[in-house]
Amino acid sequence: MRSITTLSLPRRRIATLSLMFFGALATGSAAACDVWRDEFGFYRGNCNLSVEFKDKYRVNMEFVATLEPRFHFKLPNFHPRKFKYFLTGTDLQIDVEVENLGDLAAPAADVAVMVNIVDPITGAQQAAMAYTARTMTIQPTSSQRVLITHVQVPNTLQDWDIVSVAMVDPGTPAQPVRGSVVESNETDNALTHSCRVYGPNPDTSLEPCN
């Protein structure tokens, strides 16, 4: 007899099944079960059981089980949503909009930004400039605009490209991997963006900053 069963089992139930199989071995019956976890996170098993009754027969059973989490930890999750630019003459204000995708309020944290100004005609770039600003508390599913800095483009006679990289809650010497705030997702804290400050005869192949 062959059957396929789909189960949603807590960890205690899986342990109970294991004890049942070991009990079958102790009473003289043969039991062999292979249990593994597939790429989707489901536990799959294949059991061959031999049970002594009036007649000997073998039971083959396959099952699929999931472990339902018993605890859900509420954590914040920083995500730099987008850059915002405001141009006045050669002065370019750079802001970053930071959102909290988690389900717990995100405390104040640093926002580190690296800015490069590039000449799109020659490809030459100025020395990269590093800035750090700080958020205030951000409630779940809310966002906050953070003023990063003002930079000066060299002139208004031609196009200039602005390449910006932001990292919210960057690593510290004490916490080089995750930063100072524990988040539900530590992999979505960075954002890279490029835009162009247009001159009199703009090349519109890159979106404008202003």
**For position 40, what pLDDT does the model report?**
64
Predicted local distance difference test score (pLDDT) of residue 35? 72
Whether 115 and 183 share a structural domain: yes
Specify the number of domains making up the chain. Answer: 2
Domain's final residue, options 38, 66, 94:
66
Using left for φ > 0, alpha for ψ between -120 and 50, and beta otherwise, residue 169 falls in: left
Is residue 102 in a domain? yes
Asked if residue 148 and residue 113 are part of one domain, the reply reads: yes
Task: Report yes or no: 47 and 31 within 8 Å, Cβ to Cβ.
Answer: yes
3-state secondary structure of 12: helix
Q: Tokens for 25?
A: 């071995």
Task: Based on the fold, state whether residues 152 and 50 are members of the same structural domain.
Answer: no
- Distance spanning both ends of the chain, measured CA to CA: 72
Q: Residue 132: which domain range?
A: 78-197
Same domain, 52 and 123: no
Looking at the fold, whether 113 and 168 belong to one and the same domain comes out as yes
Last residue of a domain, one of 66, 89, 118: 66
Residues 59-80 have a mean pLDDT of 74
Of residues 16 and 107, more confidence is placed in 107
DSSP label at residue 199: -
In a domain, 73, yes or no: no
From 66, 93, 112, give the residue that closes a domain. 66
Query: 93 and 16 in one domain?
Result: no
Average pLDDT rounded to a whole number, residues 13-17: 45
Establish if 184 belongs to a structural domain: yes
Considering the domain architecture, whether residues 138 and 162 belong to the same structural domain is answered as: yes
Which CATH number fits the domain that encloses residue 91? 2.60.40.10
Beta bridge partners of 162: 117, 195
- Same domain for 62 and 123? no
Whether 202 is in a domain gets the answer no
CA-angle at 12, arms to 11 and 15, nearest 5°: 90
User: Is residue 71 one of the residues assigned to a domain?
Assistant: no
What is the average pLDDT score of the chain? 82
Residue in this structure with the two tokens 């490209």, named with its chain if needed = 161
Percent of the chain, pLDDT > 70?
A: 67
The predicted pLDDT at position 169 comes to: 97
pTM of the shown model: 0.66
Region 146-164: mean pLDDT is: 97
Q: Give CB contacts under 8 A, 24+ apart, made by 170-178.
A: 170/110, 170/112
Calpha distance 45→64 (Å, rounded): 6
Tokens 């002139």 map to which residue? 155
Question: Within this chain, do residues 20 and 124 fall inside the same structural domain, yes or no?
Answer: no
Find the mean pLDDT for residues 35-51: 65
| Residues 50, 51, 53, 57, CA torsion sign | negative
Phi, psi angles (nearest 5°) of residue 118: -120, 140
Percentages (nearest 5) of helix, strand, coil residues in the chain: 10, 50, 45
In a domain, 112, yes or no: yes
